[in-house]
């Protein structure tokens, strides 16, 4: 039986003999070892040859017949199908896999001093789970499709609205709030709605790369705008086709400036005059340690040009993937349409739990605790760095999750950042956030690390910098 002695069936494999036989016959056809119109042996003969039951052979032949590799002929015999001429010997070279197989990765926590990490150990998981259980006891509706809630559960949108009104002075109706998969999803959607190759985006320089990626995905040209210690610099550079401006006015990412009131008002006036949408990313305003946070830009906006974006990633935990966008009335409908297309709705059990968590006051208590702990961590870090006498200065402190440290001597910050990464310290170079601007320093995140980690982190950083700077 020419060719069929190549079949190798292994009874120790998890795959059944029938699957093995089907695959091997298919490969013989695809590689031209069995040619179109060639007759297959009878099931009885092949069963004897391979020491298999006739049922196994028949099932394999029928499967190949169903897939079009075999055709029936007289007396229930099979021949190789003619369509298989498309497969020619030697031609069946699969394109190389674009993704190289790598060993499975492990879930890991962040290394010090990775920016923008909350301390998830502070999160009151037991309390959260109690709310979760209570929510689940209400019935099975949260487990069903709920396509009418693609903008988020009403109870969560209302709770977020109340929180934003009280804490950030946000003025909106709860139906103007969309619950998103982290603020990143909100930014991405805004890019898709408002930008394009002929609609450019103003962006702080240095600025947040996550936002820049969203504008780039929308193929929008980016117009960098310098920042100083009063936030984004005005007047804006010329860009006739600009339709969006992205800012972090409460705590400029990554340098830390707070936008002055004068600039806020001027920016709103420009936006109104030029028909620009302002995207206000208020990513960590909850963590102001030395004063009450300044009201949001949105709260000053008479013209409804500000789109306010926020997140529970920093205040609760990033794995939750819940954020929100407060939309001007004009954008509610288009945003809702896009959201319903993107996903039927977000995670409903988490949304209902979060609503209950906010309404119960647990969120406010958690924030107060985080604020106290994070303030102490920032102080400890600054004291330790000062003791080491490193050539780093921190002009803006007292707010937020990150601190920008500027080198007081001339150095290439990317080299220092790479040396520190080798020593297990994660501090991105400030220049890596720049477009045209030029800054040399490192960005430190302190909130995600306990005192012990901050101490050992500063020790390792000092040893590495002293060596690599030769000081
Ligand atoms: C400035 C800024 N905006 C937005 C985000 C995104 O947060 P989310 O986890 O909600 O997507 C981050 C996260 O680090 C951030 O630093």
Do 471 and 402 touch, CB atoms closer than 8 A? Answer: no
Mutate to test the pocket of ligand 1, among 118, 183, 203, 206 (most ligand atoms within 8 A of CB): 183
| Ligand 1 atom 16, closest CA | 116
The residue whose CA has the least distance to atom 3 of ligand 1 is: 283
Between the alpha carbon of residue 344 and those of residues 157, 176, 312, 338, 355, the distances in Å are 17, 18, 21, 10, 19
Residue 226 Cβ inside 6 Å of ligand 1? The answer reads no
Please indicate whether residue 281, judged by its CB atom, sits closer than 6 Å to ligand 1. yes
Q: Which atom of ligand 1 is nearest to the CA of 318?
A: 9
- Nearest alpha-carbon partner for 71 in 84, 59, 87: 84
pLDDT score of 85 = 58
Q: Return the structure tokens found at 158.
A: 């209302």
- What does 213-232 look like in DSSP terms, one character per residue? HHHHHTTPPEEEEEEETTEE
Instruction: Pick from 206, 314, 325, 399 the residue to mutate for probing ligand 1's pocket: most ligand atoms within 8 Å of its CB.
Output: 314
* Three-class SS state of 177: strand
Whether the ω angle into residue 10 lies within 30 degrees of 0, i.e. cis, is no
- 3-state SS, residue 191: helix
Q: How far is the CA of 183 from the centre of ligand 1 (A)?
A: 6
Separation of CA 142 and ligand 1 centre (Å): 27
Rounded CA-CA distance 342/336 in Å is 10
Residue 192 token pair: 């898709």
Q: How far apart are alpha carbons 364 and 428 in whole angstroms?
A: 31
Taking the centre of ligand 1 as the mean of its atom positions, its distance from the CA of residue 198, in whole angstroms, is: 26
3-state secondary structure of 27: helix
Q: Give CA–CA dist 445/378, Å, rounded.
A: 9
Residue 170 has what pLDDT? 97
Confidence at residue 90, expressed as pLDDT on a 0 to 100 scale: 53
User: Among candidates 337, 221, 208, which has minimal Cα distance to 280?
Assistant: 208
Give the 3-state secondary structure of residue 405.
Answer: strand
Instruction: Give the closest residue to 255 by CA, choosing from 277, 286, 233.
Output: 233
Q: Is 9 exposed, middle or buried, given 0-12, 13-18 or 19+ CB atoms closer than 10 A? A: middle
Contact 349, 203 (CB under 8 A): no
439: exposed, middle or buried (Cβ count in 10 Å: 0-12, 13-18, 19+): buried
CB 251 within 8 A of CB 427: no
Provide the 8-state DSSP code for 196. B
Placement of tokens 């079949």 in the chain: 7
The pair of three-digit structure tokens given for residue 69, joined into one six-digit string: 């590799």
Reference 30, options 78, 86, 68; nearest CA is 86
Binding site membership of 400 for ligand 1 (Cβ less than 6 Å)? no
Strand partners, 360: none
* Binding site membership of 208 for ligand 1 (Cβ less than 6 Å): yes
CA 285 to CA 70: how far, in whole Å?
Answer: 67
- The rounded distance, in Å, linking the Cα atoms of 194 and 223 is 15
Give 226 Cα–ligand 1 centroid separation in angstroms.
Answer: 21
**Helix 362-388 vs helix 348-359: angle between axes, to the nearest 10 degrees?**
90
Q: How far apart are CA 259 and CA 242, in angstroms?
A: 21
Determine if ligand 1 sits within 6 Å of the CB of residue 18.
Answer: no
Atom of ligand 1 nearest to the CA of 322: 10
For residue 170, the CA-to-ligand 1 centroid distance in Å is 19
Residue 3 has what pLDDT?
74
Give strand pairing partners of 232: 227
pTM: 0.87
Low-confidence ranges of the chain (pLDDT < 70): 1-2, 83-98
Nearest-CA residue for atom 15 of ligand 1: 283
CA of 203 to the centre of ligand 1 (A): 15
Tokens of 336: 């809702």
Distance 255 CA to ligand 1 centre (A): 15
Instruction: Give the H/E segment covering residue 342.
Output: helix 329-342
Q: Which residue has the tokens 């559960």?
A: 153
Q: Could you identify the atom of ligand 1 that is nearest to the CA of residue 312?
A: 10
Q: Give the span between the Cα atoms of 149 and 140, in whole angstroms.
A: 16
* Direct distance between the N- and C-terminal alpha carbons of the chain, in angstroms, rounded to an integer: 80
76: left (phi over 0), alpha (psi -120 to 50) or beta: left
Of 285, 272, 302, 312, give the one whose Cα is nearest residue 402.
285
Please report the pLDDT score of residue 32 as a whole number. Answer: 86
> Quick one: pLDDT at residue 317?
98
Q: Where are the beta strands (DSSP E) in 294-365?
A: 306-311, 323-326
Taking the C-alpha atoms of 364, 366, 372 and 378 in order, what is their torsion angle to the nearest 10 degrees? -120
Please report the domains of the chain, with CATH numbers, ordered by start residue: 4-86 (1.10.10.10), 120-364 (3.40.640.10), 370-469 (3.90.1150.10)
């Amino acid at each position: 039986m020419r060719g069929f002695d190549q079949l190798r069936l292994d009874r120790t494999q998890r795959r059944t003999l029938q699957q093995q036989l089907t695959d091997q016959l298919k490969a013989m056809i695809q590689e031209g070892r069995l040619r179109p119109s060639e007759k297959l042996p009878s099931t009885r003969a092949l069963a004897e040859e391979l020491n298999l039951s006739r049922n196994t052979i028949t099932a394999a032949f029928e499967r190949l017949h169903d897939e079009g590799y075999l055709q029936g002929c007289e007396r229930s015999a099979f021949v190789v199908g003619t369509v298989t001429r498309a497969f020619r010997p030697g031609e069946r070279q699969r394109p190389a896999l674009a993704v190289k197989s790598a060993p499975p990765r492990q879930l890991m926590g962040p290394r010090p001093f990775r920016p923008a990490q909350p301390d998830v150990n502070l999160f009151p998981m037991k309390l959260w789970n109690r709310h979760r259980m209570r929510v689940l006891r209400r019935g099975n509706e949260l487990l069903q499709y709920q396509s009418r809630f693609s903008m988020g559960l009403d109870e969560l949108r209302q709770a977020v609205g109340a929180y934003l009104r009280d804490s950030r002075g946000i003025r909106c109706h709860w139906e103007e709030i969309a619950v998103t998969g982290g603020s990143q999803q909100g930014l991405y959607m805004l890019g898709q709605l408002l930008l394009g190759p002929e609609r450019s985006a103003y962006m702080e320089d240095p600025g947040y790369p996550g936002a820049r990626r969203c504008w780039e995905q929308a193929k929008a040209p980016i117009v960098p705008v310098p920042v100083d210690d009063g936030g984004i610099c005005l007047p804006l550079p010329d860009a006739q086709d600009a339709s969006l401006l992205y800012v972090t006015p409460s705590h400029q990412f990554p340098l830390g400036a707070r936008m002055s009131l004068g600039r806020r008002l001027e920016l709103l006036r420009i936006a109104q005059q030029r028909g620009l949408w302002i995207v206000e990313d208020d990513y960590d305003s909850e963590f102001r340690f030395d004063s009450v946070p300044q009201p949001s830009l949105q709260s000053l906006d008479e013209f409804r040009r500000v789109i306010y974006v926020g997140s529970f990633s920093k205040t609760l935990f990033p794995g939750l993937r819940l954020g929100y966008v407060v939309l001007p009335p004009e954008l509610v409908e288009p945003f809702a349409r896009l959201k319903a297309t993107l996903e039927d709705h977000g995670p409903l059990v988490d949304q209902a739990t979060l609503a209950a968590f906010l309404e119960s006051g647990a969120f406010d208590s958690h924030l107060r605790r985080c604020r106290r702990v994070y303030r102490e961590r920032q102080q400890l870090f600054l004291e330790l760095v000062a003791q080491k006498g490193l050539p780093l200065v921190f002009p803006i402190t007292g707010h937020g999750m990150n601190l920008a440290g500027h080198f007081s001597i001339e150095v290439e910050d990317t080299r220092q950042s790479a040396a520190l990464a080798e020593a297990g310290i994660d501090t991105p170079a400030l220049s890596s956030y720049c477009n045209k601007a030029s800054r040399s320093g490192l960005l430190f995140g302190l909130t995600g690390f306990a005192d012990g980690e901050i101490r050992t982190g500063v020790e390792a950083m000092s040893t590495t910098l002293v060596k690599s700077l030769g000081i």
